[in-house]
A and B are shown apart, each in its own frame.
Chain A
Amino acid sequence: MQYLHVGIGFPGIRSYNIIVCNTFTSSCAKKHHIHGLNATASVVDKVFRRLFALIPELQEPFHVYKHSHREYRVYRYSEDLARLINMAIAFAYALHRYCKYDRRCYSRVMQSAFNACSSVGLCLQGVNLWMQYMNRVLEGRRKAGKKALLTRLERSTWECLHIIKKYFSDVESAPTFKVSEIGFSECFEDAIKILRKLFPEDVARRYANRICAGGNSIYLFARGAIIAIDARYAPTNVKIFYESCTDTPGYAMVKLVGASLVDGYINRIDWVALLGYDKQTNQVFLHYIPPTLIFKDIERARLWLLGLVDRWGNMLANFELIEA
């Protein structure tokens, strides 16, 4: 006979520990607590408390004991009960994404989902229906977000084309060097051979290390001319967008965004960089910046290069910048 041990953490340590054991005694939690399923979010706590209050089967545990900082309630194992507990955790996380900061939404959805919780079987049906609905809505939101991101970057790319054509005409036809996709060492060896021609040894090593450590993208480098290094080890559609641009008397600059596309939508932002042209020295430069600055003002992003703002674009100090 199997038993389901549901360990409930004290308020403030809202950690649930769920274990299936052959014994109903506390030795189960003592021996197997690391193999159990853990859920810690406070929204899980909300959902579980409601479940325990509503379902008769959960109100009368077979045995109760305390271990560590939890009170364990032991129930006779049934497929439905185990499924409900698992589904409740998934439901709680989906609910959190669905309702976000709307408190009324939490209670409204839980009330509706648990309305039919007069037994485990009926409760499963109600929760399952809401799960399906929430997942549909969340998928729709995800797609809408990806589409909005793509539209925004496509529009800004179009708007910056004139700066690209004027100052960086070779960026779209930059020679691309493919590095080995077998493993890190092979990729590193290939990349450093190319980067050594552009940068000092330590800089080349650090760039090579960074792009080969699981980047799976195409990276740009500029030193006189612009080159690209293709460090993809799996098929990925990488596209480079221009997020914003500026043309001042001293320099022209474009914020580049390297993104991986899946099914025509942006799936991941791989990197963000500033590509610039110094009009005084007649030099092209490219520096990578934190991805958190992707939608920050391009001038703010430039200040990050100077160490004057943090990676969120917040000023680190009250400064007066004098440039030449």
Chain B
Amino acid sequence: MFESHRILVYRQGDLILEKVREGRELLQLCEPVSDKLEVGSESGHTHVLNAKVYRYANQLYIIVEKPAVLKHPQHPPLNIEPGIYAIKFIRDWFLQERAID
């Protein structure tokens, strides 16, 4: 059975924010990338969130210090609660390595 701890996952279009449990210890290993999250989507528009972006081993993380809003011109705004999130995208069976699931 799963632990009682629930993982918070936000999705806006093809962008996925998954809350991580590691916390700030993880960020000590990461290198800072930018002070704002800006991710281009397939439509040419951009997902924007006021949060610091970090990178560790090709994985991007963001730290949301206080409640923030993820914005995109084509999607309703999404309220993001404070925490550390891994940035992920919609996946496709043909585009990923077979061994990974």
Closest to A221 in B: B94
Nearest A residue to B80 by beta-carbon distance?
A322
B74-A281 in contact (CB<8A) = yes
When the two chains form their complex, are residues B11 and A322 in contact, meaning their CB atoms are under 8 A apart?
Answer: yes
Separation in Å of the B92 CB from the closest CB of chain A?
Answer: 5
* A223 interface contact, C-beta 8 A: yes
CB–CB A322/B2 < 8 A: no
Residues of B within 8 A of A206 (CB): 94-95
Q: Is B28 an interface position by the 8 A CB rule? A: no
Beyond A280-B75, A283-B42, A310-B101, is A289–B93 a contact (Cβ under 8 Å)? yes
Q: What is the minimal beta-carbon distance from A304 to any residue of chain B, in angstroms? A: 8
| Listed stretches A16-24, A84-92, A158-166, A312-320; interface member | A312-320
Q: How many residues of A contact B (CB 8 A)?
A: 33
Q: Which of B4, B11, B42, B95 lies in contact with A324, CB distance below 8 A?
A: B11
Contact of B91 among A223, A271, A305, A324 (CB under 8 A): A305
Nearest CB of A to B58, in Å? 14
| Besides A211-B94, A304-B91, A324-B77, 4 other A-B contacts (C-beta < 8 A) | A280-B76, A288-B95, A311-B101, A318-B2
Are A281 and B94 also in contact (CB < 8 A) when A307-B88, A318-B6, A320-B7 are? no
Answer yes or no: A61 CB below 8 A from chain B CBs. Answer: no
Using Cβ atoms and an 8 Å threshold, which residues of chain A touch B42?
A: 223, 283
Give the complex CA separation of A203 and B42 in angstroms: 12
Q: Which of B6, B16, B18, B94 has the most CB of A within 10 A?
A: B94
Chain A's nearest CB lies how many Å from the CB of B3?
7
Interface string of B4-43 (1 = CB under 8 A from A): 1111111111001010000000000000000000000011
B91 touching A322, Cβ below 8 Å: no
Give the 10 A-B residue pairs with the shortest CB-CB distance, closest first.
Answer: A318-B2, A281-B74, A324-B78, A288-B93, A288-B94, A210-B94, A319-B7, A323-B11, A287-B92, A324-B76
**Residues from 175 to 219 in A contacting B, C-beta threshold 8 Å:** 203, 206-207, 210-211
Any chain A CB within 8 A of the CB of B90? yes
Residues on B with beta carbons closer than 8 Å to the beta carbon of A323? 10-12
Binary contact readout A3-39 vs B (1 if CB under 8 angstroms, 0 otherwise): 0000000000000000000000000000000000000
Q: Pick the residue among B16, B43, B95 that contacts A306 (CB under 8 A).
A: B16
Residues of chain A lying within 8 A (CB to CB) of residue B94: 206-207, 210-211, 271, 288
Residues 261-283 (chain A) with a chain B CB within 8 angstroms: 271-272, 278, 280-283
Set of chain B residues within 8 Å of A1, measured between Cβ atoms: none
**In this assembly, does A234 line the interface, its C-beta being within 8 Å of a C-beta of chain B?**
no
In contact, A319 and B90 (Cβ under 8 angstroms): no
Residue of A nearest to B97 (CB): A206
**Which B51-101 residues sit within 8 Å CB-CB of chain A?**
70, 74-78, 88, 90-95, 101
Could you tell me the distance between the alpha carbons of A239 and B34 in the complex, rounded to whole angstroms? 48
B43: chain A residues at CB < 8 Å are 281, 283
Q: Closest chain A residue to B1 by CB distance?
A: A318
Set of chain A residues within 8 Å of B93, measured between Cβ atoms: 272, 287-290
| Residues of chain B contacted by A271 (CB below 8 angstroms) | 94
B88 touches A319 (CB 8 A): no
- CB neighbours of B8 from chain A (8 A): 319-320, 322
Q: Is the CB of A322 within 8 A of B76?
A: no
